[in-house]
Amino acid sequence: MSTFTEAASSARVPVIADVFASSRVRTALMVLGGALFTALMAQVTIPMTPVPMTGQTLAVVLVGASLGWKRGAAALALYVFLGFFLPFYADGSSGAENVLQVGSIAGATAGYLIGFIFAAGIVGWFAEHGSDRRVLSAFLSFVLGQLVIFAFGLAGLKLAAPELVEAGFMTSANWSTVIHDGFTIFIVGGLVKAAFGALLMPAAWKILEANGDVRD
């Protein structure tokens, strides 16, 4: 835990995007790339009800850590915006399609989508304070980011629960069912994704350092 608190209290350090973002054009392209990467990872899906488990949350924390809090949050906001019109969400769906089909499905996912933006920002902030340089601190920041996503997601799921029960997607609208269907069943997968991301980020830094791309 001390590794995490040290990262949180340290001064701002460069994130991976800072190594390459030498112009506004490159910065804009990175934000767009973060949105497109999230859309791609959203198609990696393990079917579950009422909300499928996808690669989105892994993408969120990686984008946040790579771009920093402002660019990371902007990338996920762009993803959410584009996904309302384009087939960027899980299973190639869009926000408009969900609203036109069953309003409760859109409500069930809306909280998670909003959480993506905040989670990317929070993970990005910790990365700007060095959390992505070491496995343990990266893992803890990624777990925190996913908890933020689930906090927003559970709130949206609870609001949509009565419609989901009526549509046959949930057995009841009480909090125990909401927490089980919207969080508990994803704990193991979330930890695995956090661990995988926590291995990737320090490895990426080592590659950049070995290539001489990182300068003091």
Nearest Cα neighbor of 188 from 40, 81, 48, 6 is 48
pLDDT reported for residue 100: 47
Run of H or E including 53: strand 53-54
Give the per-residue pLDDT at 159.
Answer: 87
CA angle 111, 74, 202 (to 5 degrees): 95
**pLDDT score, position 102:** 47
- Give the range among 2-11, 25-34, 153-162 with minimum mean pLDDT: 2-11
Distance, in Å, from the CA atom of 154 to the CA atom of 178, rounded to the nearest integer, reads: 7
The domains of the chain are located at: 2-210
Give me the mean pLDDT over the 92-104 stretch: 58
**Tens of pLDDT along 175-210?**
999 999 899 988 988 999 999 999 999 999 999 988
180-214 exposure pattern, b = at least 16 Cβ within 10 A, e = fewer: ebbbeebeebbeebbeebbebbbebbeeeeeeeee
Range of weakest confidence among 136-140, 169-173, 181-185: 169-173
pLDDT digits (tens, 9 = 90+) for 104-134: 455 678 889 999 999 999 999 999 999 999 9
Partners of residue 54 on adjacent β-strands: 45
pTM: 0.88
- Tell me the one-letter amino acid at 42: A
2-210 folds as Arp2/3 complex 21 kDa subunit ARPC3 (1.10.1760)
Q: Are 71 and 128 in contact (CB under 8 A)?
A: no
